[in-house]
Chain A
Amino acid sequence: MPNLKDLKNRIASVKSTRKITKAMQMVAAAKLRRAQEAAEMSRPYTERFNAVMAKLAASVGDAENAPPLLRGTGDDKVHLLVVMTAERGLCGGFNANIAKLAKADAADLLAQGKTVKIITVGKKGRDAMKRDYGQYFVDHVDMTEVKRVGYADAQTVAANVLNRFDAGEFDVAKIFYSQFQNVVTQIPTKQQIVPVDTGDAEDVDTGTFYDFEPDENAILTELLPRAVATQIFSALLENGASEQGARMSAMDNATRNAGEMIDKLTIEYNRSRQAVITNELIEIISGAEAL
Chain B
Amino acid sequence: MAETVQFDLVSPERLLASVEAREVLIPGAEGDMTALPDHAPLITTLRPGIIRVSGVDGDKEYVVTGGFAEINGQSISVLAERALPRADVTKEDFQAMVDEATERLNRVKEQNADEHGLIDDATKLLHDMVAVGDHIGMSPN
Contact = CB atoms under 8 A, between A and B. Distances in A.
**A complexed with B:** yes
Contact of B14 (A42, A56, A219): A42
A219 B41 contact: no
Contacts of A150: 13
A213 to B, nearest CB: 4
B43 interface: yes
- By DSSP majority rule, is chain A's interface helix, strand, loop, or mixed? helix
B14 A151 contact: no
- Contact-residue size bin, chain B (C-beta under 8 Å from the other chain): 20 to 34
B44 A213 contact: yes
Most chain B beta-carbon neighbours within 10 Å: one of A48, A213, A214, A233: A213
B5 to A, nearest CB: 15
B61 interface: no
A290 interface: no
Interface in B1-20: 8, 10-15
B13 A49 contact: no
A2 interface: no
Contacts of A52: 43, 68, 70, 77, 79
A38 interface: yes
A44 interface: yes
A137 to B, nearest CB: 25
A203 interface: no
A41 B68 contact: no
Interface string B68-92: 1010100001010110000000000
Interface of A: 38, 41-42, 44-46, 48-49, 51-52, 55-56, 150-151, 154, 208-214, 218-219, 222-223, 226, 229-230, 233
